[in-house]
A and B are shown apart, each in its own frame.
Chain A
Amino acid sequence: KNEVEQSPQNLTAQEGEFITINCSYSVGISALHWLQQHPGGGIVSLFMLSSGKKKHGRLIATINIQEKHSSLHITASHPRDSAVYICAVRVRVSGGSNYKLTFGKGTLLTVNP
């Protein structure tokens, strides 16, 4: 079982809709990242959070450490938001004090005009 599960795998929305993408994980983490990957492949870090909520423009990310769950919300979605959204958790490398990122499979979001 993948340590990081995202849902849905694919999401199609109409412009203006409110979008929610979910991420659940099964291991103890120190932080969670939300990444965006556009067609063409570049990966951009949207958020890194370890508790509570963060907001940047139309994007909101929340995390519940007790429930091991995070959500990424997009308000007033736009076709330019179409991309793959990837959840990644920061987990300790066993036996050491270093960390690595473990990724979900991503959610493909398509926003139609």
Chain B
Amino acid sequence: DAGVIQSPRHEVTEMGQEVTLRCKPISGHNSLFWYRQTMMRGLELLIYFNNNVPIDDSGMPEDRFSAKMPNASFSTLKIQPSEPRDSAVYFCASSREVVQGENTEAFFGQGTRLTVV
């Protein structure tokens, strides 16, 4: 298995532009997580899907951020309009919840480094 695949690996965009980050979870995994990592705040959970349904989006900073999971093999995180303070590394992770709540390992993608200038 190729693991969790994120694209692009790097993104540089101008303030005000729309940014779309993509994630392909590991096949067979039914939970998907979007995280943001900054020097100041470390790793923060943005949103969590289970079986393609958003379960907890309390970490999404504001309305400029939205995430979708149209099917089990693809998710997007969109920022519109982007701002310089959105600059961070965005990680996607997936896991397989055999029984809901059962402890399972999360596997991380390589991350997308976003720079908003």
Contacts and interface: CB of A to CB of B under 8 A. Distances in A.
Main SS at interface, chain B: strand
Interface stretch (B18-26, B66-74, B100-108): B100-108
Interface string B45-89: 100101000011000000000000000000000000000000001
A48 B44 contact: no
A97 B43 contact: no
Interface stretch (A17-25, A36-44, A59-67, A68-76): A36-44
A74 B23 CA distance: 33
A100 B103 CA distance: 11
Interface in A54-113: 86, 88, 90, 92-93, 96-106
Contacts of A88: 43
Interface of A: 30-31, 33, 35, 41-45, 48, 50, 86, 88, 90, 92-93, 96-106
Contacts of B48: 93, 98, 100
Contacts of A33: 105-106
Interface residues of B, number: 23
A90 B105 contact: no
A103 B101 contact: no
A82 B95 CA distance: 27
Given A41-B89, A43-B91, A93-B48, A98 B56 contact: yes
A44 B108 contact: yes
Which 7 A-B residue pairings sit nearest by Cβ, starting from the closest?
A43-B108, A103-B43, A31-B103, A105-B42, A93-B56, A98-B55, A41-B111
A45 B33 contact: no
A14 B89 CA distance: 30
